[in-house]
Amino acid sequence: MKNIIRYLLFVLSGFAVFYVMYEMVNTELIYHLQQLGFSSSKAYFNEMMSFPGGPAEYLSVFLFQYAYNSFTGALLFSAILFVILSLTGFVLKGNRSALDGFLIFIPAALTAVLLVEYDLHPVFPLLVLSLLIFMSFFTAIIHAKRNTGLQIFSIILLFAAFYWLAGGLIFLVFSLSALIWSVRELRGKRLLIISFTVTILAGVLPLIAPKFFFIGQKDAFLKLGPYFTDYKPDYLLYGVVFSLPFSLLMHSISRFKNIDFVGKIPFGRTKFLQNSFSLIVMGGLLAGMYFHIDQQQKFKIQVDKLAHERKWNEVLTMVDDRTIDDRITQFHVNRALFFTDSLTTSLFKYDQRWGVDGLFLTRQFSNDMLLPSTELFFDLAFVNEAIHYANEALAQNEHSPLLIEQLILANIASADSQAARLYVNVLKDYPTFQQRARMYEKHLNGTTNPDLEDLIALKRELMPFTDFKVNRQEPSEDLINILIDKPKNRMAYEYLMSYFLLNNDLASFVKYYSIGRNFSYGKVPKVYQQALLLYSYELGRVGRPIGNLRIEKEIVQQFNEYLSIIAQNQGNMDAALPELSEKFGQTYWFYIHYNSPVTTTDKQ
């Protein structure tokens, strides 16, 4: 009778893996971070088929489309793990002892832990799966009752196909696995012939590959992973890649009678021990997945995705009461504050430790800053720079449908319908974005779309018509130029004021403050009152006070209390910090004294 308990544990662990991928990891976040769009174009297909490992990458990106939805993504990854586990059992021919059961789980368990990494390229689990599929074919060829010559010919075709499919290093791992399996299963002359064939193919195919593909000799032997991304393999990935030959080797060793210590112990073959081993391995798998999830990276991607979807209230709710440890999250918080009409009142509710570099991302460069910066320029109606930045971003990730969509919007706003149609046609090649591509195409063909038309009309109303030289190191100059052309661009104004405040530049803040009369604030925003009061106080100390300031009585009282706490500590700002943080941690005064990068850099 079959071991029902073991199979029940197996099924339950499958549901648990699905739950981890669906709820705890959320494959939509993986897709959003990597933006690996699958293009159905002939050019993309030809590009991927032109180098060893390209077919596997092409297939992996095709499957990765389904990670766009969390349910289908979790189902896909769970299915891959199930097939890996099943094929490992087929290749090892286990179930002789508890040790065999343990070895069968190793490739699937390590792959499962690897799958929770948000920046893992989807080609790697597919390479592990491909390795096991081709190993199954190899064992089937050897077990088939065919003459040796036909078997050798079949092996040559199999190895050549796998080299083209998977590329250098994984091919060598396949060859090593085939060699270990042959030594375990074959004897005599047949072993010598098969082992010799495998060894020759392992050396010859990579050696001659540069004659047929545009690759170097080193890559022909050792390349692991995609050619067009910067992913750097780590120890865990190498562990996954070499898990099959390791399991085969350990399984082979355990089968020798003189050291088959597990098989010699009757208890080692009992269902109880096998079930215990299965439970331990499955528990370890789930624990490994859970603890390997990078919660900080997950939080960062969640905020970035919510901002891309323009769910501004959810951004602020998610970040509330959390320390912001990265620029991009701070950047999105500031965007969310503007779009919830609270940038001028709640800017310093958050510590803003990144200063102006949390307001603009253009002073430094990394791939994860490209899409957010493009979106910000479009928000500001700085359409030409949105197009410029999106094109730069596309050079780094040419198959990102999210960037292509930004270029469509920006070119529609700039009335360049020819360029917009070009990118619409490109977006059509991405199956999961075809519906959106058709929406933009209908708009270009004159079909009414009120939401899109309102958005485009707003950008055209606010976009500057005078060209000027962009200064990415000093974004304030760009904002000033925008406001010279379009003084009613409220976002440009509030971002300019925020830039000056975050940069401790109160003189410039006061100089351009009056542009705010173009907007219906009703009363001077709270953050601006705090800044004006501080500026007036500092000028008053040198005999140049500012008059006629409309400062609320409550804010004046708060500032006086702030100063009194400093005075009580004899001007020792470190001693005053705890009380000031508790009472005034969300004011501009506290920011400029304690959190501003300008201030903290000057102290060093």
* Burial class (CB within 10 angstroms; exposed 0-12, middle 13-18, buried 19+) of 388: middle
What's the pLDDT at 250? Answer: 87
* Res. 291 pLDDT band, cuts 50 70 90: very high
pLDDT digits (tens, 9 = 90+) for 489-535: 999 999 999 999 999 999 999 999 999 988 988 889 999 999 999 99
Does residue 147 sit within a domain? yes
What's the pLDDT at 259? Answer: 46
Does residue 323 sit within a domain? no
For residue 389 the two structure tokens come to 């930045």
What's the pLDDT at 567? Answer: 94
Return d(Cα 588, Cα 517) in angstroms, integer: 22
Exposure class string for 162-174: b at 16+ Cβ within 10 A, else e:
bbbbbbbbbbbbb
Spatial CA neighbour of 351 closest among 603, 595, 600: 595
**Lowest mean per-residue pLDDT among 229-233, 296-300, 367-371, 583-587:** 229-233
pLDDT digits (tens, 9 = 90+) for 237-280: 999 999 999 999 988 887 664 444 444 554 455 566 666 777 77
Q: What is the mean pLDDT of residues 113-128?
A: 94
Question: Structural domain tally of the chain?
Answer: 1
Q: What is the pTM of this model?
A: 0.89
> Would you say residue 128 has pLDDT above 60?
yes
Q: What is the mean pLDDT of residues 576-582?
A: 94
What's the pLDDT at 1? Answer: 44
Does residue 395 sit within a domain? no
What's the pLDDT at 331? Answer: 95
Return d(Cα 375, Cα 46) in angstroms, integer: 32
Does residue 89 sit within a domain? yes
Does residue 39 sit within a domain? yes
> Would you say residue 395 has pLDDT above 90?
no
Per the CB < 8 A criterion, the answer to whether 131 and 53 are in contact is no
Does residue 57 sit within a domain? yes
> Would you say residue 8 has pLDDT above 50?
yes
Q: What percent of the chain lies above the pLDDT cut of 90? A: 68
The C-alpha angle with vertex 321 and arms to 320 and 323, in degrees rounded to 5, equals 105
Does residue 181 sit within a domain? yes
Q: What is the mean pLDDT of residues 479-487?
A: 93
Exposure class string for 550-565: b at 16+ Cβ within 10 A, else e:
eeeeebeebbeebeeb
Does residue 24 sit within a domain? yes
**Lowest mean per-residue pLDDT among 202-211, 515-524, 537-546:** 537-546
What's the pLDDT at 272? Answer: 67
Return d(Cα 102, Cα 246) in angstroms, integer: 12
Return d(Cα 493, Cα 486) in angstroms, integer: 10
What's the pLDDT at 586? Answer: 93
190 is in which domain, residue-wise? 4-293
What's the pLDDT at 273? Answer: 64
Return d(Cα 232, Cα 464) in angstroms, integer: 42
Return d(Cα 508, Cα 499) in angstroms, integer: 10
